[in-house]
Chains A and B, each alone.
Chain A
Amino acid sequence: MNETFTKAMARNIFYGGSLFFILVFLGLTYHTEKVLPERDHRENITEQVVHGKKVWEENNCIGCHTLLGEGAYFAPELGNVYKRFGNSKAAIMAFIKYRPVDGIKGRRSMPQFNLSDEELEAVAEFLKWTSEIDTSNWPPNIQG
């Protein structure tokens, strides 16, 4: 940067450039919203799925697990857990239900959240719906 490049030019690049890319970003967001229904299968979001998402949030599951790769890295990815557990909601529900209250000696263990049967159903249904999102074939394999 030298004398021919003035502060006013730098300022214009900042304001102009930022504004331009904000507008592009908003435009792309609009387009994404338009095509999203083909990928998220929102027609399958039942009341139970919505409830399941709330159970997921209110027990801070993201504090240990990743979901579609986002979250904490302490426990397995759950975006595809429905498929990993053999397309079985029952297996997911049983796993959550029978966690030992005092953990497992020396090992990581999921806490016992004391979910009701209704909540267990809902969270399993939520994870089933999540596993059907078109994620461009991520994760690379069933282990997540």
Chain B
Amino acid sequence: MAKDLCKTLADLKEDEVLAIVEEKLKAGADPMGILADAGRAMEIVGNRFSKSEYFIPDLVYSGEILKKINELVKPKLTEEGGAKTGGKVIIGTVTGDIHDIGKDIVVFMLDVNGFDVVDLGVDVPIQKFVDTIKETSAPVVGLSGFLTLAYDSMKQTIEAIKAAGLRDNTKIMIGGGQITDEIMNYTGADAFGKDAMVGVSLAKKWAGIK
């Protein structure tokens, strides 16, 4: 019998993981079962990151392995896989700032934790956030920014969300290399996250997920 997929993936052993997946598929295993194992593995990866056992390279690499698993599994999928149960989250890097590494890691961790993430990309115009909240009624918005110039873009974005009458039903988190309590207060956000897993915890809390 094949080795434990969940454990092997959580330990980031790419070659072994892919061999196990191929073997399972050949043996006629349920593709959804494979994805469920992968999902559990990503939860372990996230926990290890929270405990500083894993670091950014490990998160990035886990994402790369997961991509390959998806490529193998996809042709065998009969149903639309992985219904999102966590709720909608809108994420983007604020106007004037084109940094995407931190944002992409947050998007990835939210996604593997079951959230339906609307990723607006980088240098996102203020109005785009407002329009997307209107369209999707997403209860959680994440604003990303690496530049210190992003402080004002975040503040202006949150003010625009407020002016559009959407602030009361929207929880807003911010994140980036130079984000602190001071900046959270300045921008008017509800919370900030030091790393991707804090972002996931905030989104879960706000979506009422334990």
Q: Do A and B come from one complex?
A: no
